[in-house]
Amino acid sequence: MVVAGLCGAREASGQQQSAPMRTSIVDSHEGVTIGVDPWTSAGRYHGKFPKKNPYTGGVLAIHLTIRNDNDEPIRLNRGRIRLVVQLDEDNKQELEPLNADDVADAVLLENHQKDPTIRRSPIPLPTSHAKPTRDKKWEELRDDCQNAALPSPVIAPHSTMEGLVYFDVRSEWDLLENARLYIPDLERMTTKQAILYFDIGFSQESNN
28-60: pLDDT as tens digits: 999 999 999 999 999 999 989 998 999 999 999
- CATH of residue 195: 2.60.40.1230
| 151 within domain boundaries | yes
Neighbouring C-beta atoms of residue 168, cutoff 10 Å: 29
Give how far the C-alpha of residue 182 lies from the chain's centroid of Cα atoms, to the nearest Å.
10
| 112 within domain boundaries | yes
Work out the pLDDT band at 23, boundaries 50, 70, 90: low
| 208 within domain boundaries | no
pTM value? 0.81
| 194 within domain boundaries | yes
| 104 within domain boundaries | yes
**Number of domains the chain contains:** 1
pLDDT at residue 196, rounded to an integer: 97
115-172: pLDDT as tens digits: 433 444 566 655 555 545 788 999 999 999 887 777 789 999 999 998 899 999 999 9
Domain residue limits at 90? 6-119+132-201
Q: What rounded mean pLDDT belongs to the chain?
A: 81
| 126 within domain boundaries | no
| 175 within domain boundaries | yes
Residue 21 has pLDDT above 90, yes or no: no
Provide mean pLDDT across the span 7-31.
Answer: 61
| 127 within domain boundaries | no
